[in-house]
Amino acid sequence: MMSLKRPREGCDDPNCPFHGSLSVRGRLLEGTVVSDRMEKSVVITIDYTKYYPKYERYARMSSRITAHNPPCIGAHRGDRVRIAECRPLSKTKSFCVVEKLEGEV
């Protein structure tokens, strides 16, 4: 398993990478929570810049990723979070929130 900071709280979610049996591997991304209205899921936007050689300009792009939000993390709208890739948890979820990035922007 990747070296991740363990959350202070515990939980009994089987899909939690810290207290359940979910293994996280692959990509590690940082983004901002834009929706926390689903049960144990959040929508994250990741902003990045893409270079277009034809115009010699960078364009700001963003992508949206649905991620699992275990109760011990409990990310809310507006939080900066780190997400890690895991097995597909549902049709749209194959990432899990592993850390809230407090104060680091």
Q: Which residues bind Zn ion (CB under 5 A)?
A: 11, 16, 18-19, 70, 72
Q: Which residue type, as a one-letter code, is found at position 25?
A: R
Two tokens, residue 37:
């209205």
Nearer of residues 16 and 97 to Zn ion, judged by Cβ: 16
CB of residue 81 vs Zn ion: minimum separation in angstroms?
Answer: 14
CB of residue 58 vs Zn ion: minimum separation in angstroms?
Answer: 38
CB of residue 13 vs Zn ion: minimum separation in angstroms?
Answer: 6
Largest CA distance in the chain: 52
Nearer of residues 16 and 43 to Zn ion, judged by Cβ: 16
Nearer of residues 5 and 57 to Zn ion, judged by Cβ: 5
Q: What angle do CA 32, 36, 69 make, to 5 degrees?
A: 80
Q: What is the DSSP letter of 20?
A: S
Measured over the CA atoms of residue 23, residue 26, residue 29 and residue 34, the dihedral's sign is: negative
Nearer of residues 40 and 46 to Zn ion, judged by Cβ: 40
Residue 73 · residue 67 · CB < 8 Å = no
CB of residue 94 vs Zn ion: minimum separation in angstroms?
Answer: 18
